[in-house]
Structure 1
Amino acid sequence: MSYKIEALPGAGTLIGEGPHWDVETQSLYMVDIDVARLLRYDYKENKTYTAVLEGEQYASFIVPVEGESGKFAVGCDRRVAIVAWDGVSPTAKVERVAYEVQPGEEFTLNRLNDGKADPRGRLFAGTMYNDQKDILKYRKGELYNFEKGKPIALIKSDVGISNGLTWNEKKSKFYFIDSADFDAKEYDYNLDTGVASNPRVFFKHATHLPDGMTIDADGNVYIATFTGHTVYKVNPSTSEILLEIKFPCKQITSAAFGGPNLDILYVTSSRLNDQPAPAGETFKVTGLGVKGLPMTKTRI
């Protein structure tokens, strides 16, 4: 297959993550985690806008809030914050805290990591131990379901690094990556209740650490690998690797389909630990011959 990889203008990051394509604004939102920065790539302008999230140390995901223009659910430490940003200004502000998890002293070094809304608008996000020296050692993370009007629901405990999330609504499946397990799991998913059950490993790699994930309209998932230069296209039903998309940098963090026809795969990366250029750039992959699914805003 002939595909093309290009860097987006002005979308360099330290740790790029959480890409979310917003159909309404034709924009790709994402975060630069360790410097608490929000980014918006405007497709029509071919330009990237960035904002520092005032008073925060981390911004680990960004999901637009349904029905509230310029409002986003953002992961800040162990809080889900509602942030106001017009998508242009160089600063953004937390308006309120919607949820907080793991408040105890034993979780001081934990923070929220990847987050995404399910097809019904529930926000799913999980935590991880954030000390780089022992990042794979401790399993203090948890995965949660934040549903409007309900208490926080614990989906999974004993998590190392809560990471990639995506859903197949037609097949009632939920896919989840705990990077510390070096695998991706498929769950049966009840769309009415938000309950995930019966985990099954469908992707495992001996050395490449899986990170973020997305899905296409055919039900194949795309798994970014933080240590492998690669996004793997995988059939989760058969575990067959259908395609390996190779990038010019090592730390590939996540992926999302976007563009007017949802046929561009946007891919974030990291330059953590002084990785050489073009590490940290945000890329677009064209020519894949597939389309993604519209991403869901959160109801919060």
Structure 2
Amino acid sequence: MNWQAVTTQPCELGESPFWHPQEQMLYWVDIPGKKIMRTRGATGPTESWLMTAPHALEPGCIAPARQGGLVIALRDGIYRARAWGSALQLVVPFAHDTKTTRFNDGKCDPCGRFWVGTMYEPRDARKAALFSIDCRQGGLPQVELKADDAITANGLAWSPDRKTVYWSDTPNHIIRAWDWDETSNVMSAPRVFHQFPAKPQGWQYGMAGYGGRPDGAAVDVQGNYFVAMYEGRRLLKLSPAGDILADIPTPAQCPTMPCFGDDDLRTLYLTTARHKRSAAELADMPLSGCVFSMRMDVPGLPVNFFSD
């Protein structure tokens, strides 16, 4: 299996990729660059949309909407764009301290609710949480706290049978799973899906002995969970039981999130990061921050759309 570069102009921190089946485009965000990106693939141009004032805030994640456009999690709340580059409409403001907390990983569930987790940037306390936002009934959005006791929300995904939800806390090197009822939106039976070893004290780029920590994820039609291992230079394929089935090297030390795309959903796309990485690392891997792709034998699940 070989990775191909989809883009050659790197982002600082690529995240939240999804394949839009109607538009035949790959979308993702550059969080510190405050941009939303999209492309038709390696043969097409890459477009960028800068989040400008008064919304010059980092887009943590995005998802496509059934009625067109995007739902976007910015630092201070959830916004709606009816079309690419259009005005942003506030859906839900959040009262967290935006000096220390921002939205990070998120996506829609199979029913059309938008789920989004926060990141506590000082990383010295478990103040991150996971929320679901339901706009399907009209009126005021229904916001529910789904999980907390984390530092950096990541790894959100659902199983093909829509009965399991996954969520990870990156600094604590843990992926958790819950039983999930899609009708009531109730999570139950919390458990550890996979616990990874902690980062060795004093570890730096070029040293052995560290396999990275769980970042963004995607699931294939067989229920296997693909997770980007940030700083581990690898993508792991975990079985529905949490066992490691494959360890796939990546062309960047810091892969951030995979997604499945193209007509057959057998192209695995991967965003990566270069933000705050060492000069030695970037010299060794100059395409860090670019998007890569690889063909897979088994298709993945399609993106879920936001309903409002």
Task: Answer yes or no: same fold by TM over 0.5.
Answer: yes
Match of 1:165?
156
Q: Which of 276, 285, 289 is 1:280 aligned to?
A: 289
> What's the counterpart of residue 141 of structure 1?
128
> Unpaired runs of 5+ in structure 2?
200-211
- Equivalent pair of 2:119/2:153 in contact (CA under 8 Å): yes
Per mean C-alpha deviation after superposition, the further-off stretch among 202-211 and 39-48 is 39-48
Q: Deviations over 1:32-64 (max 9, x none)?
A: 001210111214953321121212120111111
Structure 2 residue 219 is the aligned partner of structure 1 residue 215: yes
Q: Which amino acid aligns with 2:250?
A: F
Pairwise CA distance, 1:83: 2.4
Normalised by the size of structure 1, how large is the TM-score? 0.89
Amino acid across the alignment from 2:275: L
Q: Is the 8 A contact 2:160 2:223 kept in 1?
A: no
TM-aligned CA deviation for residue 167 of structure 1: 0.5
Is the 1:186–1:236 Cα contact (8 Å) retained in structure 2? Answer: no
Backbone CA RMSD of aligned residues: 1.7
Structure 1 equivalent of residue 307 of structure 2: 299
1:146-199 Cα offsets, whole Å, 9 max, x none, are 011442100012221011111014151111111132111111010102221212
Give the total of aligned pairs: 283
Q: How does 1:214-293 map to 2 (within 5 A)?
A: 214-237=218-241, 239-275=242-278, 276=282, 277-286=286-295, 288-293=296-301
Task: Give me the whole-angstrom Cα distance separating, in 2, the residues matched to 1:169 and 1:236.
Answer: 10
Q: Contact between 2:8 and 2:287, CA under 8 Å: does it hold in 1? A: no
Question: Residue type of the partner of 1:60?
Answer: G
- Higher deviation after alignment, 273-282 or 221-230: 273-282
Structure 1 residues 72 and 36 mapped into 2: Cα distance closer, same or farther (>3 Å)? Answer: same
Q: What percent of counterpart residues are identical?
A: 26
Give the corresponding residue for 2:142.
151
Rounded to whole Å, the distance in 1 between the matches of 2:96 and 2:227 is 33
| 1:67 corresponds to | 67
Cα gap change, 1:116 to 1:61, in 2 (>3 Å): same
**TM-score, normalization: structure 2?**
0.87
Residue deviations 1:243-293, cap 9 Å, x none?
Answer: 11111221110000001110000000000113401210110012x311011
Structure 1 partner of 2:209: none
Whichever residue aligns with residue 143 of structure 1, its letter is: L
CA contact (8 A) 2:76 2:96 kept: no
8 Å Cα contact 2:168-2:176 kept in structure 1: yes
